[in-house]
Amino acid sequence: MKTSHEKIAIIDFGSQYGQLIARRVREQKVLSAIYPPSVSAEELQGENIAGIILSGGPSSVYDKNAPSCDEKLFDLGVPVLGICYGMQIAGKILGADIRPAESREYGRTDLHVSESSGLLAGVPEKTTVWMSHGDQVNQLNDDFITLAQTPTCPYAAVKYSKKPFYGVQFHPEVTHTPDGSEMLKNFLYQICGCKGDWLIGDIAEEMIAQLKDELKGENVICGLSGGVDSSVVAAILHKAIGERLHCIFVDNGLLRENEREGVEKTFCGHFSVNLRVVDWSEQFLSGLEGVTDPQKKRKIIGAEFIEAFKSEAEKIENAKFLAQGTLYPDVIESGSKDGNLAANIKLHHNVGGLPEELGFGLVEPLRDLFKDEVRLLGEYLGLPEDMVWRHPFPGPGLAVRIIGDITKEKLRIVRQADEILIDEIKAAGLYRKCSQTLAVLLPVKNVGVMGDDRSYESVIAIRSVDTSDFMTADFSRIPYDTLGIISNRIINEVRGVNRVVYDISSKPPATIEWE
């Protein structure tokens, strides 16, 4: 994104939280941008950098191929904050001794603040932080000042007296560190002197201007699913290029109940663009027959999406670009090929499984944004509230909510269970309070009693999470009475199900979707 706003440069050493740091900075109305460890101090000069954050990462600073950073970053005259691995690599450069901890520390721990000013201003003397590390600072030289400790980490937060460097061994960016936002706010405003003038309107207007410039005279195909991501992509492109936008909806046979009808009704009435509906359900289901591996499912579905688009694009004159709703979490969790060091957790159909020769140029206006930013962008663009706040639905659809192989009978079961679940969540007034709610069909049969007869049928798992960024999440505290109603309805109304369970795992370590 081209902009003249002050910027925080985030050097990503492969942390699964790298993009989350960027989001937390933007939450404070300050622009952030991600850079690989190879970025030089010279490259960052002239980009209006107000500060630098060094992310965590999975490596040890003593690994043979451990990523490092340009030591001249510390001579740019802007404050630097090192988080976890970022603190360790900076400490090594600045003369601290780093050693493996006696035991790997993972999870919540108590932090004792010894200097409640600067980075830790306003933070209680005793607070909770989230740790995830193997190495830690073993010894500091005289140029370091200790700011906070934990029972197992004597240098949990430090500052360097000769240069504006601060380091924390814990992760302030995750919600499991309750005062983390205050720490980041202190770094941005008290230490870096940021003005906080990065607003969603700026994002929208700069994005529209950039798209206008890049897509002059070109027709663009937008794959419309009815979810918030593709809807916002369509809206922003329509603002930028008007009638040259052509929306295509692919019925892949993996949709929720009445999804196709709802999309046709909404977009034919809301957008003044051509909406083409392609029924490709038989091709998808045929390609998925007998496939159980979730990564293979995603690749097959991604390939079929491209084929569907190509089949319809042949009917659109001079269509050279394909627009997708790829978001920041899609990119980080898929293990980006352009210098991102994060471990590959799962493939997304937006960024994984695409053929090398796509036939179209890719347009991904939202790839720098998180889900909550996309919703705010949708509101700014005037999209209907029920569209903007709809719960996320994965690109591969119900294929990744059926564990194991895909059949029409399994699709019927999970589709009906999902409809009941969402109906009851809405009836209980919980839909806007929960961030994402879904039903999963498990690959097990279990004994039950239906009437006076023994049954041997399927299990539905209910999953509902609360989150602001979808990088971390906790399970929703749905009242027992509501869960009871949902369970009773699914068992009574969905033929083939005799047991319902509720998933109470958080992210991390679990993902939101089961596959």
Catalytic residue list: 84, 171, 173
User: Is residue 231 marked as binding?
Assistant: yes
Q: Using CA atoms, how far apart are residues 14 and 37, in angstroms rounded to an integer?
A: 9
User: Is residue 226 marked as binding?
Assistant: yes
Residue in 16, 48, 13 with CA at minimum distance from that of residue 32: 48
Asked if 8 contacts 76 with a C-beta cutoff of 8 angstroms, the reply is no
Cβ neighbours around 224 below 10 Å, total: 25
Residue in 370, 364, 333, 326 with CA at minimum distance from that of residue 21: 370
Q: Using CA atoms, how far apart are residues 181 and 183, in angstroms rounded to an integer?
A: 5
User: Is residue 230 marked as binding?
Assistant: yes
User: Is residue 227 marked as binding?
Assistant: yes
Asked if 204 contacts 377 with a C-beta cutoff of 8 angstroms, the reply is yes
Asked if 364 contacts 326 with a C-beta cutoff of 8 angstroms, the reply is yes
Residue in 42, 43, 41, 46 with CA at minimum distance from that of residue 74: 41
The residue behind tokens 């814990």 is 170
Does 79 sit behind a cis peptide bond, omega within 30 degrees of 0 on the bond before it? no
For residue 38, give the 3-state DSSP assignment.
coil
User: Is residue 225 marked as binding?
Assistant: yes
Q: Using CA atoms, how far apart are residues 343 and 57, in angstroms rounded to an integer?
A: 10
Residue list for the binding site for ATP: 225-231
Residue list for the binding site: 225-231
